[in-house]
Structure 1
Amino acid sequence: MDRFHEMLVFQAVAERGGFAAAARQLGTSAPSVTRAVAALEARLGARLFHRTTRRVQLTDAGDRFLHECRRLLADLAEAEAAAAGTHATPRGRVGVTSSQLFGRGHVGPLLCTLLRRQPLISVHTLFVDRVVNLYEEHMDIAVRLGALAESSLRAVQVGQVRRMVCAAPSYLDAHGVPASPDALAGHACIQFTGQSPGPEWSFGSGRSVRVHSRLTTDSADLAIAAAIAGDGCARLLSYQVAPALASGALVVVLAGFEPPPLPVHVLHHEGRRVSAKVRAVFDHLVEGLRADPALG
């Protein structure tokens, strides 16, 4: 059994979470998948999976080998595509992930523009308010807000967003404008957990204030709506409240105390010979987001 086949089978088991699921993906039998993994483990002299009756989990050695397999198999696919003359033509499916509100308002419209220009590309989006593992969830590109953890992903910064406290004019007329972060202790606050998971709101110079939250929600839309309705001060990102600020439905308070802006990056996990389809989507997003006034 050749090494290429063993690596393909190993990757399928790791990504599908089981031997039977990998067999269905590869169109083969579960015993043949088991034999391929056993042969690979024997050749490497290392156990790649912990096996129980309920689950299959990578060992530390398996986790390291999976990253190398993905890199080698991607490089091989790139070489074959280049040899076949298809490398320069963007075609095929590309997975793109982002947070929900940012994805709907800023990433999605750019992707629709790209699809009109690139008829051979198809796009699958995953807009969720959590960090997505690109390998595990079969995504090619991510747009992320905030500091990045160390990883092998290639990242390009396209802009930044502010963390701002906003309130409706009606609320401020009734309760006054907070002059400092400490003054928030006397105000009703709306806590969006996607931005501030706990009751501590951080400001510049390492300063933090514990706020009283009458509403705590994981929905940016609900936090914005509650703030517009005059229910309190909300802490949100600049792009999230840009329409409400432009219309006057919300105003910024404590602008002089804001923490440093958060960077916005576009990332992909392919090697230096990135495929034409991923390159086309990646470059389009970088260009479009850099021109987005909400990220200035």
Structure 2
Amino acid sequence: MDKLDELALLIAILDEGTLIAAAHKTGRSPASVTHILNEMETRIGVRLIERTTRKLAPTEAGRRLADSGRRILSDYDESLHEAMGQAVSPTGLLRVSAPLMFGRRHLAPIATRYLDMYPQVSIELLLSNEMVDLIDHKIDVALRIGALNDSRLTVRQIGEVRRIIVASPDYLSKHGLPTNPDSLAQHTLVMMSIRGEVQPWNLTAQAHSRFVVNQAETMIDAAISGIGLARPLSYQVIDEIKSGKLVRVLSQFEPAPIPVSLVFTSRKHIPMRTRAFLDIAVGALKQVEGIQYS
């Protein structure tokens, strides 16, 4: 039996909920469906569907295979239409990953605009400051801030951001303006922790922190309230600097800029839904204030 037909049958079983209903949907006999499913499980070496007298339920392996199968079949249909020169719109599920704050502010609006343009596509937007593996987590597109070392990925660099130091006008009026990195020893810092590890500023060994948080927006709020100096990424505080809530200091001592990129797994055939999203996202992200463009 053709492997694509096997995937389609597995998906039909999960969607319909019974072997009889899947047989009816695919034009086969219930005995044939049972035989094909048994052969798949024997060849793969894992159970795909748990069968009881009352219901069917996918195993974890069966669920993962079905999820991958839906994407494979969608890509296959799309490729056939393209090969025949037929106009085709993006379809299927697009999984996008981004850092929490950047994704909420900038990628979520892009995703909703994309969904309005392409009604046959669904998006799963995964926001996390953890660096997820695109292949292991079946991510189509990821927004990355930082150096990239994975040669399996194709990169579209959007621009660059900087790690900057900011404080509220009230804090600076009370404690003075820092003039060099060594002067930070006389100030209070609001610092970030990642997975329980406080992230050093690498500017001075004498810095004192009275407040450590694990979320960038909380760090920024603390700086606005006047607790101390904070060190966000430039895009995170562009509005606060423009409004005067925060003041950028020690800009002459800022480290090298950090690349902002869209990445996706390298392969010859990129699904149309991925290509369409990249085209929209690249253009939209170039309008984001706080990013210096490449």
TM-score interval (norm. to shorter): 0.7 to 0.9
TM-score (norm 2): 0.72
Q: Which of 207, 211, 230 matches 2:207?
A: 211
Structure 2 residue 158 is the aligned partner of structure 1 residue 158: yes
One-letter code aligned to 1:201: W
List gaps (5 residues or longer) in structure 2: 11-16, 23-32, 47-59, 62-71
Does the 8 Å CA contact 2:192/2:198 hold for their aligned counterparts?
A: no
TM-score (norm 1): 0.72
Per the alignment, residue 142 of structure 1 pairs with 142
Task: Kindly state the Cα deviation for residue 211 of structure 1 after the two structures are TM-superposed.
Answer: 2.4
1:15-34 alignment, distance < 5 Å:
32=39
Distance 1:124 1:86 in 2: 28
Does the 8 Å CA contact 1:167/1:250 hold for their aligned counterparts?
A: yes
Distance 1:149 1:156 in 2: 14
Residues 278, 258 of structure 1: alpha-carbon distance in 2 compared, 3 angstrom cutoff: same
Distance 1:192 1:284 in 2: 32
Greater shift, 154-163 or 286-295, is seen at 286-295
Does the 8 Å CA contact 1:168/1:249 hold for their aligned counterparts?
A: yes
2:275 aligned counterpart, secondary structure? helix
Larger Rg: 2
Q: Which of 256, 259, 265 matches 2:261?
A: 265
Per the alignment, residue 21 of structure 1 pairs with none
1:277 aligned counterpart, secondary structure? helix
Alignment identity in percent?
Answer: 34
Does the 8 Å CA contact 2:166/2:230 hold for their aligned counterparts?
A: yes
1:107-126 alignment, distance < 5 Å:
107-126=107-126
- RMSD between superposed Cα atoms in Å: 3.4
Task: Kindly state the Cα deviation for residue 32 of structure 1 after the two structures are TM-superposed.
Answer: 4.9
Structure 2 residue 241 is the aligned partner of structure 1 residue 234: no
Does the 8 Å CA contact 1:191/1:223 hold for their aligned counterparts?
A: yes
Task: Kindly state the Cα deviation for residue 121 of structure 1 after the two structures are TM-superposed.
Answer: 2.0
Q: Which of 284, 288, 291 matches 1:292?
A: 288
Moved over 3 A (4+): 1-6, 27-34, 72-88, 194-199
Does the 8 Å CA contact 1:192/1:236 hold for their aligned counterparts?
A: no
One-letter code aligned to 2:236: Q
Residues 78, 113 of structure 1: alpha-carbon distance in 2 compared, 3 angstrom cutoff: closer
Deviation track 1:73-106 (CA, whole Å, cap 9, x = no partner) reads 9986764453576784212221111011100111
Greater shift, 171-180 or 127-136, is seen at 127-136
List gaps (5 residues or longer) in structure 1: 13-23, 40-54, 57-71
Per the alignment, residue 276 of structure 2 pairs with 280
Distance 1:210 1:129 in 2: 28
Does the 8 Å CA contact 1:242/1:294 hold for their aligned counterparts?
A: yes
1:36-115 alignment, distance < 5 Å:
36-37=43-44, 79-80=79-80, 82-83=82-83, 88-115=88-115
Task: Kindly state the Cα deviation for residue 270 of structure 1 after the two structures are TM-superposed.
Answer: 5.0
Task: Kindly state the Cα deviation for residue 269 of structure 1 after the two structures are TM-superposed.
Answer: 1.5
1:294 aligned counterpart, secondary structure? coil
Greater shift, 91-100 or 77-86, is seen at 77-86
